[in-house]
Copies of this chain bind each other. A is one copy, B any other.
Amino acid sequence: MKKYKIGVIGTGRIGKLHIENLMRYIPEAEVYAAADVMIEHSKEWLEENNIEHVFSDYKDLLALEEIDAVVISTPTDTHAEISIAAAEAGKHVFCEKPVDLTVERVKDVIAAVKKADVVFQVGFNRRFDHNFRRVREHVVDGNIGDVHMVLVTSRDPAPPPVSYIESSGGLFLDMMIHDFDMVRYQSGAEVVAVTAHGANLVDPEIGEAGDIDTAIVTLELSNGALAMINNSRQAVYGYDQRVEVFGSKGQATAYNDQPNNVELYTEEDISTDKIPYFFLDRYTNAFINQFEDFIKALKGEIEVPVNDVDGLRAIEIALACNESLKTGERVELVYDEL
C-alpha cells in the first residue's frame, strides 16, 4: 500500500483535527511534516504524535521533496499564497474554505493549479456529511425526480467575537459560503441570480461592525429550480444544519443529528437531548470522509469532489449576495469561462 506523505500547514484547532483524522482513519496517508508561524505552540503536541518534521516557515515544508500533498489550514488571507506556492512545488493541495475573499486571487490559484497539474480540493466538508450525502444520493438516483427546490437551514449556535466578524468578509463570505456550495452540490446546477435579505437581530455590535447576523437568500438555478438559504449567527439550541430537496417525484429531508436518541417522558413533556452545539461534533464524519475522497482523488480513482472552480463559484455567489444586500436588488451572476 502506497502511503501518501502529507504536510499540514497551519496547526491551530482545525489543523490539529486534520492531523488526528489523517492519522487515525486514513491508512494511506502519513502525516509527515507540519508547519505553522507559531510552531512553538504545537511542538509538544506534534512530538507526542510522532511528527518529526516541523517548521515555522511553510516554504521549508514545501521544500521537502518526499511530500506528496499539503493540507492548508491557516488563516484565510494566506490560503491563496500558500496554495500557489504548493502547486508550484508540485504538491497536491487540500485547502480550507474559502480559498480567498476575492475572485482575482482564487483565479490565480486556479491558474497555478492548472499549470502544475496537481489535485486541488477545497474543504467544503458538509458535502461529506452522512445525511447530506444521502440526500444527494436520492437526487442522483432519481428518487425525487427533477429538482424544483433546495432549502437550506444553517445556523451557528453563537456568534463569533465581533473582532473576528470585522475581518471575516461578512456573513455571506464567512458563513453562508458553505450553504452556497450545498445548493450547488445538491442541485448539480449553477446559481444564476441571487436576492439577499439580511437583518441585525442577534447582537447590535454585529450591526455596528457593518455586518448582519440573520439572513434569507433566494437563489435561481441554471436548471430553472429555486433555492433558499437561511442563516442565523445564534441558534441557542445548537448548531442547526438541515437540507431539503424537493422535486417532481418527491422530497428528501436531512434533519439534525442528535447525540443520542433517548426520549424522556415526564409529567411535563417528552424531551430529548439538544442537538450538538459544536460544529466538530456535528461534522465528525464529514471531516474524515473528505480526506478519504482526497486520497481517492490523489490515486485518480475519482474526480476531485470539491475542486478549485467549486471554491470560486461559492465566492462569486457570496459577493453577489453582498451586492444584493447593499442595493436591495436581485443580482444576476455571469461566470467567466475558465
Contact = CB atoms under 8 A, between A and B. Distances in A.
Contact of A265 (B220, B248, B251): B251
A207 to B, nearest CB: 11
B143 A230 contact: no
B149 A216 contact: yes
Given A230-B149, A329-B329, A269 B271 contact: yes
Given A148-B199, A224-B201, A259-B130, A251 B264 contact: yes
Interface string A211-223: 0001110101000
Given A216-B228, A228-B228, A269-B271, A248 B201 contact: yes
Contacts of A151: 153, 230
Interface residues of A, number: 71
Interface of A: 24-25, 130-131, 133-135, 138, 143-144, 146, 148-149, 151, 153, 155, 195, 197, 199, 201-202, 214-216, 218, 220, 224-228, 230, 232, 234-238, 240, 246, 248-275, 328-330
A12 B249 CA distance: 32
Contacts of A250: 236-237, 264-267
How many subunits of this chain does the assembly comprise? 4
Contact of A237 (B155, B228, B251): B251
Given A251-B265, A271-B272, 18 more contacts: A24-B25, A138-B262, A148-B199, A148-B201, A148-B214, A149-B214, A197-B218, A199-B225, A201-B225, A214-B225, A216-B218, A216-B228, A252-B262, A252-B263, A258-B270, A269-B271, A269-B274, A328-B330
A170 to B, nearest CB: 17
Contacts of A237: 250-251, 265-267, 270
